[in-house]
Amino acid sequence: MNVSTRTSDDRRARVLRALGVTPWVRREAQGDASPERGSMADTASGVACVIVLPQGCSTRELDLLGRALNACGAALARAGRVMVQAGKPLADVPEARAYLVFGEPQAHALGRALSAAAMHRAQIVLADEPALVLTSAAAKRRLWNALRNVRRALATVER
């Protein structure tokens, strides 16, 4: 690394610190990392959380859900999403530590897609349909409670 690159990196770090931004740095895989202690996104199967949504959500609904998930941290913001149409998931549902399911029809589809053992091991949290969350204050409150429950389930993985 030459001197000009180092000074530009130092300047960038100072500017980000002044703006109150915490820069994220991608971790590299290490051969001697201890398997019992990982981040919230690490599980034995590689997937911490899966979001199950109905097909055809509007842009406003997806934006609201995205903002709520971002507010709950990186593990939920980066969670995989599976869409359900006509009672069937449009993609394979991976085995995960927690599932956040939006709507009862999606919960039934998840139950048909997962094995009984996978459902027993996972924390499945049901929230209202995204259209209802967008329009109802009570549904928003239930969504925040559901997000809190999912975060608790993911935090137990870390310990």
| Model confidence pLDDT, tens digit, residues 10-63 | 888 888 888 777 777 777 665 544 443 334 444 444 688 999 999 999 999 999
- 33-40 long-range contacts (CB < 8 A, ≥24 apart) are 37/158, 38/157, 38/158, 39/75, 39/158, 40/73, 40/74, 40/75, 40/154, 40/155, 40/157, 40/158
Has domain 49-158 been given CATH number 3.30.465.10? no
- List pLDDT tens digits, range 61-110: 999 999 999 988 888 888 999 999 998 999 889 999 999 999 999 999 99
Say if residue 50 is exposed, middle or buried (CB neighbours under 10 Å; 0-12, 13-18, 19+): buried
Place of tokens 């740095």: 25
DSSP class of residue 43 equals -
